[in-house]
Structure 1
């Protein structure tokens, strides 16, 4: 996953996961709950499976002020779509990730001693959870999703989905070394070709 150098130090109005924390007032111990849905305009996940764009993502979070910043913890979940890594058929599912993210207050010791890509920042009394959610979802989803644990995949010869093929589906294979001989034998057996008996008469 690619993270831009300033991904955790800026909040933008276009980000769907910005949370206003002004009401916490930098008072250690102050806490608020966040239980709502946010729609993601972008795809979140991996190549073969992801939360699709324009999908509602459920946030069930605890947002707490601590001495060095704002601690966000809880669960983020949403539906996923993708394709099976073996048979390439569409699949759907759900992903649920746990977040525990600290966003440093400006001018705090944590802010001064950590790099921008190590930890998020509180910017204009808000925190942006987007990169944390992208990272967590990417680490949770399987690299090779399967429609079924025992999915047999595709036939390597004709590409048919083996789960839908007739029982015992297979293709006769001729050793390449004998292919020319088999071709010649097929021509000799073709209709109208003289048989060996005809030649002897």
Structure 2
């Protein structure tokens, strides 16, 4: 599972904390949240992620239910990374569906679930950061490609084959014969004067 590099930091320093005090623990109360936030650290995987300080669009419903606060909606952001075959930079966009319950303190859900199983409402706020990090990590490809049929790099000279001339190749000597080829000079096609050739 993808992790945010600063996942252990205090809730209030998270860029994705949402104040839910207006809900007042009244089931059925709802807040629409349409905001743009950003994270100082990348969110995603090693080879592709939401870059640091990129705009993360939140289009969410924040609802009070009997056991806590239910957050649902869409999170979208640009992504940047590197093709696993040709190592060229690539960019894209990600859109994830988010549905996350945050338990009220002293609720049955709070008492019967571990801290890492479900989020908690803390100081009239919920922190969406870990939910976003987890969802993005699941949605991004483990092996991003610039094109589905990317041919990769030339194993001899390292140039991207997609941009190389047609038929790009290198004359290679079988490594088992390379030392012998270095010892023998160029062969002449002319017969020798002594008649042995």
The runs of at least 4 aligned residues of structure 1 exceeding 6 Å deviation read none
State how far apart, in whole Å, the 1-side matches of 2:120 and 2:126 are: 7
- 2:132 maps to 1:137: no
Deviation at 1:83, TM superposition (A): 0.4
Q: Which residue of structure 1 aligns with residue 11 of structure 2? A: 11
Query: Structure 2 CA distance, aligned partners of 1:92 and 1:177?
Result: 43
Name the counterpart of 2:70: 71
Alignment of 1:162-201 (within 5 A): 162-185=161-184, 187-189=185-187, 197=192
Residues 136/107 of structure 1: CA separation in 2 closer, same or farther (3 Å cut): same
TM-score normalised by the chain length of structure 2: 0.90
CA distance in 2, matches of 1:22, 1:51: 29
Q: 1:110 to 1:37 in 2, by over 3 A?
A: same
TM alignment of 1:64-103, pairs within 5 A: 64-103=63-102
Q: How many residues align?
A: 192
Between the aligned partners of 1:138 and 1:54, the Cα distance in structure 2 is 17
Aligned residue number for residue 154 of structure 1:
153
RMSD: 2.2
SS in 1 for 2:149: coil
Contact 2:3 2:44 in 1 (8 A): no
**How far 1:174 moved relative to its partner?**
2.1
**Structure 2 regions of 5+ residues with no counterpart?**
none
**Matched-pair contact (CA < 8 Å) for 2:30–2:62:** yes
Counterparts of 1:101 and 1:87 in 2: how far apart (Å)?
A: 37
* CA distance 1:41–1:3, shift in 2 (3 Å): closer
Q: Secondary structure at the match of 1:55?
A: coil
1:1-80 matches, within 5 Å, as 1=1, 11-12=11-12, 14-80=13-79
Instruction: Please give the alpha-carbon distance, in whole angstroms, between the structure 1 residues aligned to 2:125 and 2:168.
Output: 59
The alpha carbon displacement at 1:178 in A equals: 2.8
Looking at structure 2, the residues matched to 45 and 188 of structure 1 have their Cα atoms a distance apart, in angstroms, of 56
Shift of 1:170: 1.3
